[in-house]
Amino acid sequence: MPDPVYPVVELIAQNIIDTLEDVTVENEYCQTLNPRRPTRDIFEANGPLADLDVLVVQDDPVLISDNPYGVQEWEQPFLLSICLQDSDSSTTAIDTRKNYAVADVISAIMEDTSRGGYAIDTVVKDVYSFPVELSETGITVVINVKYRTQYDDPYSTP
């Protein structure tokens, strides 16, 4: 049976998960993250989130250009939403916890901006706290991954 074939964007998404799985105390980061991809579009529908769970949400891609050489260039945003359980018994400020989470995520993600060779570049675009109306406390790091595929073949890189 042949190996399954994956779209380039799916290989990039898996690289992001693999990268965030390496964010552990044992690997000299400040905490151990638990990344996963959502199974539902609605944030709260993905079930209860535990402290340091990271939802890796793929946003809508943007076609940057078609070129005459049969290549399409894409920009794929990913939202890396880190849940931080706040607690009345905690002695660490929630802003401090957010700072450590953001620093660990950015440090790990920027180690290989080519996403294992499937991307042209990875750029951190934004960081923002969860809206207060959500039942969860946390922070989101938005990254954009630029990559190319063969024209009309999302399974192949040029």
Mean pLDDT by 10 residues, the chain (158 residues): 80 98 97 94 78 95 86 96 82 92 98 98 97 88 96 88
Split into its structural domains, the chain has a count of 1
Element (H, E) at 20: helix 8-21
Using alpha carbons, list the distances in angstroms from residue 138 to 55, 96, 129, 145.
11, 12, 6, 22
Buried b (16+ CB within 10 A) or exposed e, 81-113: bbbbeeeeeeeeebeebbebbbebbeebbeeee
Residue 52 within a domain: yes
Residue 140 within a domain: yes
Residue 110 within a domain: yes
Strand pairing class (121-129; 138-150): antiparallel
Residue 156 within a domain: no
Range of the domain at 50: 8-150
pLDDT on residue 42: 76
Residue 37 within a domain: yes
Residue 1 within a domain: no
CATH at 18: 3.30.70.1700
Residue 132 within a domain: yes
Distance CA 64, CA 139 (A): 28
pTM beyond 0.85, yes or no: yes
pLDDT on residue 69: 78
Residue 3 within a domain: no
